[in-house]
Structure 1
């Protein structure tokens, strides 16, 4: 009888822990949380500058309680096989609960910002994320898809929370 009561109490305690799990625990450990595309309106309206390129970005968050190495991970767009739009992380560790922003243009890499290194020259389209619609894919160093985020543009919203 005592063993049955102890088992019931243990089951109830374990059940309470499972119920108390946060909702985000079901998502990927490393996830795309935001894409900001069409950073300064239509590309043809204004000259492309590094500031405008860096206004286009993707945010990636580590939802775990441990730092995760992103060395060899890739971020790419839907047409990456034809466009070559593939960002590859070098030696980089994303801290527990931290977010890194991957910006399209050039800049100095930090723990909060990484730079794709794209620049505009005549005849070269420098932006990564299409203004009408696109999909971002995040893969680990083995090539396994870890997260993705798709969007379709509206006339006044130029970002997508994933």
Structure 2
């Protein structure tokens, strides 16, 4: 009857040893929203252009200097952030059109749309070019603008 205690011991040992999976660490700066289809007809008016935007969020408890960081789409349209220190737990909205930059909203200054209405990917990279976060969407399968 020695096999029963050995089997029990083997099962107990197997239950105790559980390899741990690496923990997923959320990025410090996260893309939280890509509003890719501005309301109304796409007439390239500045109001319509500013109706599409990307919002990024500082998930940390410290301010992050975003100087030289970039937001880019799949095609390669790139916006370089200048002069923004994103406070702890604060959001920054990057609108596609023109306007006056502030502490929570900046303007890409484009006269054409950035984000495709069907599908695209938004990328945020730090000043050294390291990918920090990305958010993709496909409106042909679902209408999802939050990342």
Displacement, 1:154?
4.3
Displacement, 1:155?
8.5
Question: So what's the TM-score if we normalise by structure 1?
Answer: 0.72
Pairing partner for 1:100 from 76, 88, 92:
92
- Map Cα deviations across residues 67-106 of structure 1 (whole Å, 9 max, x no partner): 00000000000010xxxx1000112100000000000000
Question: So what's the TM-score if we normalise by structure 2?
Answer: 0.79
Displacement, 1:48?
1.9
Displacement, 1:32?
0.3
Which sections of structure 1, spanning at least 5 residues, go unmatched? 1-24, 120-125
CA–CA distance in structure 2, aligned partners of residues 48 and 115 of structure 1 = 15
Q: 2:59 maps to what in 1?
A: 63
Matched, 1:118 2:110: yes
Q: 1:160 maps to what in 2?
A: 145
Q: 1:52 maps to what in 2?
A: 48
CA–CA distance in structure 2, aligned partners of residues 95 and 38 of structure 1 = 28
Which sections of structure 2, spanning at least 5 residues, go unmatched? 1-23
Matched, 1:138 2:124: yes
Q: 1:90 maps to what in 2?
A: 82
Higher helix share: 1
CA–CA distance in structure 1, aligned partners of residues 62 and 141 of structure 2 = 39
Count of matched residue positions in the alignment of Structure 1 and Structure 2: 124
CA–CA distance in structure 2, aligned partners of residues 156 and 127 of structure 1 = 21
